[in-house]
Amino acid sequence: MAQRILVAQIGAAHGIRGEVRLWSFTAEPMAVKDYGELSSEDGTVNVKIESVRSAKDFLVACLAGIGDRTAAERLRNTKLYVPRERLPAAEPDAFYHADLIGLAVITEDGRVLGRVVAVPNFGAGDLIEIEPAAGAKTFLLPFTAAAVPQIDLAGGRLVVDPPAGLLPTSHAEGAG
């Protein structure tokens, strides 16, 4: 299966005519309507956004074939994906978060910390979630230019310079 990129998530029904709350994960939120048919992670749900408008903290979308609140509620919490090839090419020195998943994470002095397993954002900015090579519990680092000074997609790695005290004990300075 071609790589797919998460671009949106459906929330609660909005009103009684089948509209839904929609959270867009695209750089330009309204662009989510331009990618054609979107599908759920397992491919069982396919939707086409007919129209979208801004609301306070989300978008309100009208989806093709969804005409009432009951049908809209069945889609609640559905994550929507688009095939990678439908997205525009990334700008120079830019990337999609999906490009980071699986990259090795090393410190500036060459210590391997693990690999990127996710790029979450809990509201205060992007983070990188790192799974240590030894299989220990994952940990988070801020995904900022200071903490991640080098992104080497071709080389399959991120070079990190984490702020003091953010590495788990097993990866801290002098630890084995």
Residue 56: the pLDDT is 86
User: Per-residue pLDDT tens for 13-63?
Assistant: 999 999 999 999 887 899 999 999 999 989 899 999 999 999 988 999 999
Nearest in space to 148 (alpha carbons), one of 129, 172, 171, 173: 129
Residues 80 and 103 in one domain: no
Residues 118 and 156 in one domain: yes
- Position 174 pLDDT exceeds 70: no
pTM of the predicted protein model: 0.69
Give the domain range for residue 10.
4-85
How far is C-alpha 26 from the chain's CA centre?
9
User: Per-residue pLDDT tens for 119-136?
Assistant: 887 777 788 999 997 778
Nearest in space to 131 (alpha carbons), one of 143, 119, 122: 119
Residue 133: the pLDDT is 76
Residues 75 and 129 in one domain: no
The count of domains in the chain is: 2
Residues 80 and 109 in one domain: no
Summary mean pLDDT of the chain: 87
Domain boundary among 50, 85, 120: 85
Residues 72 and 120 in one domain: no
Residue 171: the pLDDT is 55
* 176 is a domain residue: no
User: Per-residue pLDDT tens for 106-115?
Assistant: 999 988 999 9
* 90 is a domain residue: no
Gap between the Cα atoms of 57 and 75, Å rounded: 19
Residues 106 and 52 in one domain: no
User: Per-residue pLDDT tens for 77-98?
Assistant: 999 999 888 887 777 777 788 8
Residue 39: the pLDDT is 95
CATH of the domain at 114: 2.30.30.240
- Contact yes or no for 20/61 (Cβ under 8 A): yes
